[in-house]
Each structure stands twice: as C-alpha cells, then as structure tokens.
Amino acid sequence: MTRPAFDLGLYLVTDPSIGQPRALLDTVAAAVAGGVTLVQLRDPLAETGALVAAARALVALLRPKGIPLIVNDRTDVALAADAEGVHVGQGDMDARDVRRLLGPDRIVGLSVGSPAEYAASAEALAAVDYLGTGPIRMTATKADAGAAIGFEGLGAVARLTALPIVAIGGIGAAEIAPSVAAGARGVAVVSAIMAAADPKAAAEALRAELDRARARQ
Ligand code: TZP
Ligand code: MG
C-alpha cells in the first residue's frame, strides 16, 4: 500500500447531531454522488464500537469509488477499520505519534487555525499531509471552534506553508472562491451538506462552485 492520492477539493465532515434524520451512509452516498472528494468521520460523542462499525461501513462504501476515509482524532478506530487516514486537532494526539502508529501509507491531517498555531506545530509538520484551517466564518457546528479568522487569516497560514490547506468553518457556496483565492486547495463542510434536504444537490452546487474557482486560479 502506498499513501492514497487525495483531493481536498470538497471535503465532507460528518456530524450525527446535524440536520436531517437520515442514515449516515445514505447521506454520504448522496454527497459522494454529488461530487464530494474526501470524507471525514467525525463523531466525538460516539461509543468506540459504534464508531468502528460506522468507519467500516464508510470504507466499504467509499473505497470502490476511490474516495479516502479520514477518521477524526481516533487513530485506533482508523486502524481497526482500515481507514485511509486520521485528522487531529491541536489538543489531540501529536501528529508525529499518529504517523508512527499509522505508518507511511496513510493520510495525516492537522488543524492549524493561525500563524501562531502553525509555529507551535513546526516540529510535527513533517508528519502531516495537509492542514485544516479555520473557522473561516462563525459556525454553530463546533462549540469550541474559536473566533472566525476570515480569508485574511486563511491567507496568513497559506503563505507560511507548502502543505495543501482545506478551509473549514461556516463554508457555503459564497465562501469557496475567496477560500481558493486565499490559497486553500479546497473546502470542508459539515452543515452545508449534512443539513441539506437534498445532500446530492447540495454537493453538486458546491462542487460546481469549486470547479469554477479552480478554473480561475
Ligand atoms: N472544525 C472547525 S470548524 C468545524 C470543524 C469541525 C465545523 C464546521 O462546520 P460547518 O457546519 O461547515 O460550519
Ligand atoms: Mg479533534
């Protein structure tokens, strides 16, 4: 196994507490049909057994489509379910430890919300494949997301690094072009897809906006 290729373009982060009462797998399948390029399983409150089961089901859905599954925070769950990667935040396991546990052939993502956090993470960066930066706008989805950094804050991190960046937090169609212009490779969304009445149509609209923004770069 070599590290799978991944496209940060339209990155769906799941959240069971958001939106429509539908099965997670149905929502993700619809979102992928609409053009999502990467999926993160994020459920901080889930019991471990349920999380492994959800990760396994998502791997079975996504792998035949060539879409990697990233597990939020839980390296153990990613390994148990044979997911393609792990995303850690500043308070989570050090990315170097995640890399040691996962080996060279999986994807490691790290949240970096400011130049100061980037500097504080300097020693871990060699273990990391991409950065998640935000929140771009105010968001109700993550209680401890912190203050919005805007496109200026996104650009300030992007100028410091050669790592690909995915912008996150309060992203809808209107935030895609300015995120790409500020240096993001793509955007990560929770509510814009998870809460949509039609997640396939929502993903299609976001993907069309992303493709337009990329064509202008
Ligand atoms: N990390 C930073 S902001 C955020 C996460 C998981 C939530 C983003 O959710 P939404 O609904 O796309 O604003
Ligand atoms: Mg975390």
* Interior/surface letters 54-91, b for 16+ CB within 10 angstroms, e for the rest: bbbbbbebbeeeebbbbbbbbbebbbbbebbbbbbbee
Give the pLDDT score at 19: 75
Token pair in block for residue 133: 């930066």
- Tell how far the Cα of 1 is from the centroid of ligand 1, in angstroms: 31
Distances (CA, A) of 109 to 85, 131, 183: 8, 6, 17
pTM of the model: 0.98
Mutate-to-test residue for ligand 1 from 41, 88, 168, 189, highest number of ligand atoms within 8 A of CB: 168
Question: Is the ipTM above a cut-off of 0.90?
Answer: yes
pLDDT digits (tens, 9 = 90+) for 192-203: 999 999 999 999
Active site (catalytic) residues: 42, 111, 142
Return per-residue pLDDT of the chain as tens, 217 residues.
789 999 999 999 999 888 777 899 999 999 999 999 999 999 999 999 999 999 999 999 999 999 999 999 999 999 999 999 999 999 999 999 999 999 999 999 999 999 999 999 999 999 999 999 999 999 999 999 999 999 999 999 999 999 999 999 999 999 999 999 999 999 999 999 999 999 999 999 999 999 999 999 9
Mutate-to-test residue for ligand 1 from 41, 43, 114, 139, highest number of ligand atoms within 8 A of CB: 139
Give the pLDDT score at 47: 97
DSSP character for 37? Answer: -
Is residue 93 within 8 A of residue 110, CB to CB? The reply is no
**Closest protein CA for atom 6 of ligand 1:** 142
Integer Cα distance of 129 and 112 in angstroms: 13
End-to-end CA distance of the chain: 33
The contacts of residue 75 (CB under 8 Å, 6+ apart) are: 86, 93, 97, 98, 101, 102
Integer Cα distance of 63 and 193 in angstroms: 20
Give the pLDDT score at 20: 74
Q: What is the DSSP string of 50-108?
A: HHHHHHHHHHHHHGGGT--EEEES-HHHHHHHT-SEEEE-TTSS-HHHHHHHH-TTSEE
- Tell how far the Cα of 189 is from the centroid of ligand 1, in angstroms: 6
pLDDT digits (tens, 9 = 90+) for 111-125: 999 999 999 999 999
CA 8 to chain centre: 8
